[in-house]
Amino acid sequence: MSTTHGSPGNEKLLKRRPRASSLHRIETDKGHHLTGPFMVQTPLGSNTPESCDSPVSSDSFRMAKQKGGFVADLFSARWVVNPVSSFKLLMIPVLLYINWELLAPYIAPQLSNPVAPFLLISYRIPDSSPDDPRYAKGYLDLAFLAFHIVFYSFVRQFVTIVICHPIARYFGIKKGAKLDRFGEQGYALLYFAVMGAWGYRIMGQLPTWWYRTEYFWIDYPHWQMKPELKRYFLMHASYWCQQLIVLLLGLEKPRKDYNELIIHHFVTLWLIGWGYLINLTLIGHAIYMSMDIPDAFLAFSKLLNYMGWHRLKVGSLAVFLVAWTYFRHWLNLVILRSIWFEFDLIDESNRVWAPETGAWLVWWMKYQIVFPISLLQLLNLFWYYLILRIVIRSLRDVEVTDVRSDDEDGDDDDDDTEDTKED
């Protein structure tokens, strides 16, 4: 028998919980993905319950023991947040690939490995140089995408639980909800730092190095991709698909800024998918790199705040503010300017709708490209305002009431009680 949600205790908690209906409430909302982690944290080492409200925690391992186990997780999509199930699913194509490589030379030496598209990029252009190969795109890229959605599901939970939770406990973080948030930011730091550095390396191999925007359009269509560039695109797409699946299916407790994150994820996938489809791989790469690098600084600053290193956090925030301003706003405007004024650098013979040749950019496509990037810029401007407020608050060292910490404990306790009674 579960507890009644209309009880006086729950009503009291609901009254205390802020609603993000104004900028002030957003700035003081512990549930907001941007402002929440920069609120004044509960003192490290304080005697607070070790409760949890998210399947990112060790509860993910307990889910594997539920009735139905792996098969049930497949049908319910719980494998996305259950590291045990995602690892099992991940191993199926890996083991099939290894078995084929070991046995095929004796049984069917002329046949290529049918599992390879899940693990490796496909569509190498036969006449490209062995020393500098090129790849095209095709439907088998969806297999690579699907495998790496599972890959990110496992890595996300592994990094959060196995690596970040022990680090958080070492720094005195005990609350389950805060452990989860620390884990999320640790995973974000790892992902965006790696992808930002990788994107920087790839740009060094391209004519677009450091945002030479005219090469976004010269020699279009850019359908012959370097192997690293293709892998980079598909890995990005897999990451954002995995993030969107978690949000849309409600596999984790949603944040207060759920709608903002949904818009951001949809626009990001729109840019990735559409850019890949119509062979705008060079401008797409430039956009992704401009997003990844400042996000790494953001995650690092959030981690410092959770650890209570406030002086170092202020310095990190200052660096982050410079990085965010340059990458997410200045370079974004440089890209928008290029779309508007340099679009006509595309050779006139390729400003046609001819998918068979890889050319898709008829005149009206300029507006289709400008719209999602402008939408992303508007969302970034809103977050930029919140970031400036966070930096000012940090410099003034003004304490803000921890308006959600008690609620988190209350919610967690309620959830734990319900689970216990239902069991």
Mean pLDDT over 110-125 rounds to 94
**Euclidean distance between CA atoms 106 and 386, whole angstroms:** 63
- As a whole-number percent, the residues of the chain with pLDDT over 70 amount to 76
Determine the length of the chain: 423
Check pLDDT > 50 for residue 410: no
Check pLDDT > 90 for residue 39: no
Mean pLDDT over 70-92 rounds to 89
**Whole-prediction pTM value?**
0.78
User: Over the stretch 222-272, which tens digit does the pLDDT of each residue have?
Assistant: 999 999 999 999 999 999 999 888 888 776 666 666 677 778 878 888 888
Burial of 259 per CB tally in 10 Å (0-12, 13-18, 19+): exposed
Neighbours of 130 (CB within 10 A): 6
User: Over the stretch 123-162, which tens digit does the pLDDT of each residue have?
Assistant: 999 999 989 999 999 999 999 999 999 999 999 999 999 9
User: Over the stretch 9-30, which tens digit does the pLDDT of each residue have?
Assistant: 445 444 444 444 555 565 555 5
Check pLDDT > 90 for residue 89: yes
**Euclidean distance between CA atoms 168 and 175, whole angstroms:** 10
**Euclidean distance between CA atoms 390 and 314, whole angstroms:** 10
Q: How far is CA 97 from the centre of its chain?
A: 28
Mean pLDDT over 345-352 rounds to 92
- As a whole-number percent, the residues of the chain with pLDDT over 90 amount to 51
Q: Give the pLDDT score at 52.
A: 40
